[in-house]
């Protein structure tokens, strides 16, 4: 393999008519890395992942996956990647094992190892004892686990997970993260995933924050949090508008209402709270101070929280649907 | 888990790999069919109704004009074709279903040629349809047709050919279709005239010229006629009755021979298959 990276992306872009879903992004993913693509719905995550998986042709730029060009060496890319989509792509009328056998044949997994490999991946996601059950009887979480097993069946060099935990209950979500961590230890694999759960992005080695089709920043979760440097303070008051004005007048702070509370960032938040109570000049009903989270990172780079960003982006959500077809 | 990870090396694309893909797509078609008893039953019910209810009713009406032949014997090859057509189309329609439920994507992202997937689908549809046809074959004795091995084998082969072509047609229709309702609507629209104009229900002899023209350009005519000729060649039928019930197909007075008819169906199947593959390549 001539390429030393698992994924290399250069000025990659995709337009649907006049709408630019991805606007010339650049990044690299090293072999063995867990790389997270973080952004609100409609930011261009799925479009980017679809281009890397050869499902959508880019309108500009280039990308290689496992050393192969995603446009010119499509089959080579496909042999070397595993895919887990947001929406299930299993045949509910077949048993779990039959679904995997189908996949093994389609990918040309050598006959001598098919049986053992199927057993191995199914044991990894704890579904071996359900191998003969029809997939339509599975819960959403079981289906997702089976899809992860299937995505791994042909030993891909890069596993793409598009929102692997969306719509799952917390217990299943943590189980899926358990598998992903186990995977990193067992297999020589690079994981490329998208998520819009901030908590989950922390599991990644590096994160790219994407917003409106552009990469805002790429770094490790720790470095990103350190770069924010400020604590996040949220207060509840009787009159939010007045509170925001008071914060600006008296402390020179930029505050805004996020998640129903007046929110602002300030260095050493705990020490600031006593001053706040003394000098704001209006009653505060509650206060919370938190260390910077990835949510704050997101906010400091994009100017909105991920939930706020999702609320107003119908056009982009529509484009995402287009991209997924 | 302490076991060593089994690393899999997948091969580059080759004929062997494509063959495996064809086989597994075909295999899935079989599994789906075997698991779906309701579908099997409903696909059988219609031809059986036509044969034993309509056939018996109409038969009493036309008894006088076709001495020595049961009208149901006449309808029999037509009913085989009808079964085969419906089953084949239904198999093809599952592509639309697969698209709606996401499974098509699993097939289309695999490192395998579109051709292999489409060929597998068509062969699968054809085999399932032939299997369905076998059940109708088993009823031959009920309408006075001998269980001659030669006849049975001929009918099986002809069935398979017809089924393959119709499945290829269905796959072509389904290639771009996004929902089942549209597909079934279109399927109904295509099947009804094809069945009516094929000689499955009534003999094609002595038709008004406009109707004759329509039956001649209907591809299904060339699938039904060889089956009827095969059946009638194993019966002892008076010549004038044979002329009414089994007139063959004529092009401006030229009697089209069975091999040419079968050749036409095969060529059409091949062409439809190619178009279907092209559609899937383009859809990418």
Residue B149 burial by Cβ neighbours in a 10 Å radius (0-12, 13-18, 19+): exposed
From B97, which residue of chain A is nearest by alpha-carbon distance? A91
Contact A88 B102 (CB under 8 A): yes
Name A62's bridge partners.
A10
Question: Is residue B246 helix, strand or coil?
Answer: coil
Q: Report the alpha-carbon distance of residue A292 to residue A232 in Å, rounded.
A: 6
B43, B83 contact by CB (below 8 A)? yes
pTM equals 0.81
Contact A113 B28 (CB under 8 A): no
Contact B9 A155 (CB under 8 A): yes
Q: Report the alpha-carbon distance of residue A303 to residue A306 in Å, rounded.
A: 10
To the nearest whole Å, the CA of B8 is away from the closest chain A CA by: 5
Contact A94 B28 (CB under 8 A): yes
The closest CB to that of A105, out of B7, B24, B101, belongs to: B24
Q: Report the alpha-carbon distance of residue B116 to residue B104 in Å, rounded.
A: 14
B223, B265 contact by CB (below 8 A)? yes
Mutant choice from B33, B35, B103, B117 vs A, greatest count of A C-beta within 10 A: B103
From A324, which residue of chain B is nearest by alpha-carbon distance? B105
DSSP class per residue in B206-224: T--HHHHHHHHH-TTHHHH
Residue bearing tokens 């690393």: B7
pLDDT tens over chain A, length 325 residues: 445 789 999 999 999 888 889 999 999 999 999 999 988 877 888 899 999 999 889 999 999 999 999 999 999 999 999 999 888 899 999 999 999 999 999 999 999 999 999 999 999 899 999 999 999 999 988 999 999 999 999 999 999 998 888 878 888 888 888 888 888 888 889 999 988 777 788 889 999 998 888 998 999 988 888 887 778 888 888 888 888 888 888 888 888 888 788 888 888 888 888 888 888 888 888 888 887 777 778 877 877 766 666 655 444 444 555 555 4
Contact A93 B32 (CB under 8 A): yes
């Amino acid at each position: 393999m001539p390429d030393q990276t698992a994924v290399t992306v250069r000025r990659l872009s995709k337009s649907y008519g006049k709408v630019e879903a991805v606007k010339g992004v650049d990044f690299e993913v090293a072999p063995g890395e867990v790389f997270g693509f973080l952004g609100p719905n409609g930011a261009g995550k799925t479009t980017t992942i679809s281009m890397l998986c050869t499902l959508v042709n880019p309108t500009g730029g280039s990308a290689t996956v496992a050393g192969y060009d995603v446009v010119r060496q499509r089959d080579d890319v496909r042999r070397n990647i595993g895919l887990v989509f947001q929406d299930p792509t299993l045949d509910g009328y077949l048993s779990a094992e039959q679904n995997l056998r189908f996949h093994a044949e389609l990918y040309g997994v050598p006959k001598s190892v098919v049986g053992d490999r199927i057993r191995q991946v199914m044991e990894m996601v704890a579904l071996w004892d359900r191998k003969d059950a029809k997939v339509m009887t599975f819960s959403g979480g079981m289906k997702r686990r089976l899809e992860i097993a299937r995505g791994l069946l042909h030993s891909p060099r890069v596993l793409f997970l598009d929102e692997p935990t969306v719509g799952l209950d917390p217990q299943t979500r943590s189980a899926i993260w358990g598998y992903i961590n186990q995977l990193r230890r067992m297999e020589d694999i690079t994981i490329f995933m998208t998520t819009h759960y901030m908590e989950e992005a922390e599991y990644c080695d590096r994160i790219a924050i994407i917003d409106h089709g552009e990469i805002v920043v790429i770094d490790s979760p720790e470095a990103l949090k350190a770069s924010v440097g400020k604590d996040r303070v949220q207060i509840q008051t009787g009159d939010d508008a007045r509170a925001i004005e008071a914060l600006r007048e008296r402390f020179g702070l930029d505050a805004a209402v996020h998640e129903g509370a007046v929110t602002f960032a300030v260095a050493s938040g705990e020490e600031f709270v006593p001053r706040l109570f003394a000098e704001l000049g209006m009653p505060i009903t509650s206060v919370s101070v938190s260390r910077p989270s990835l949510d704050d990172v997101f906010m400091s780079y994009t100017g909105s929280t991920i939930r706020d960003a999702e609320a107003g982006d119908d056009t982009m959500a529509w484009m995402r649907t287009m991209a997924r077809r | 888990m302490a076991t060593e990870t089994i690393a899999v090396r997948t091969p580059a694309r080759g004929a062997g790999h494509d063959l495996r893909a064809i086989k597994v797509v075909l295999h899935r078609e079989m599994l789906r069919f075997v698991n779906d008893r309701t579908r099997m039953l409903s696909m059988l019910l219609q031809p059986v109704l036509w044969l034993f209810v309509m056939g018996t009713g109409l038969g009493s009406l036309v008894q006088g004009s076709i001495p020595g032949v049961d009208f149901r014997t006449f309808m029999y090859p037509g009913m085989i074709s009808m079964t085969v057509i419906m089953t084949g189309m239904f198999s093809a329609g599952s592509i639309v279903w697969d698209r709606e439920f996401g499974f098509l994507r699993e097939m289309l992202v695999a490192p395998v040629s579109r051709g292999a997937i489409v060929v597998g689908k068509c062969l699968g549809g054809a085999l399932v349809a032939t299997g369905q046809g076998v059940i109708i074959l088993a009823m031959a004795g009920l309408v006075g047709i001998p269980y001659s091995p030669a006849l049975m084998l001929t009918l099986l082969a002809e069935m398979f050919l017809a089924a393959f072509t119709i499945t290829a047609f269905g796959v072509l229709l389904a290639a771009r279709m996004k929902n089942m309702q549209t597909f079934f609507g279109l399927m109904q629209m295509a099947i009804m005239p094809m069945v009516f104009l094929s000689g499955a229900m009534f003999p094609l002899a002595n038709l008004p010229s406009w109707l004759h023209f329509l039956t001649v350009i209907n591809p299904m005519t060339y699938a039904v006629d060889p089956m009827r000729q095969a059946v009638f060649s194993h019966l002892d039928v008076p010549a004038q009755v044979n002329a009414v019930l089994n007139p063959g197909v004529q092009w401006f007075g030229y009697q089209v021979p069975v091999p040419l008819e079968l050749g036409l169906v095969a060529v059409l199947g091949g062409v439809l298959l190619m178009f279907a593959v092209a559609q899937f390549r383009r859809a990418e």
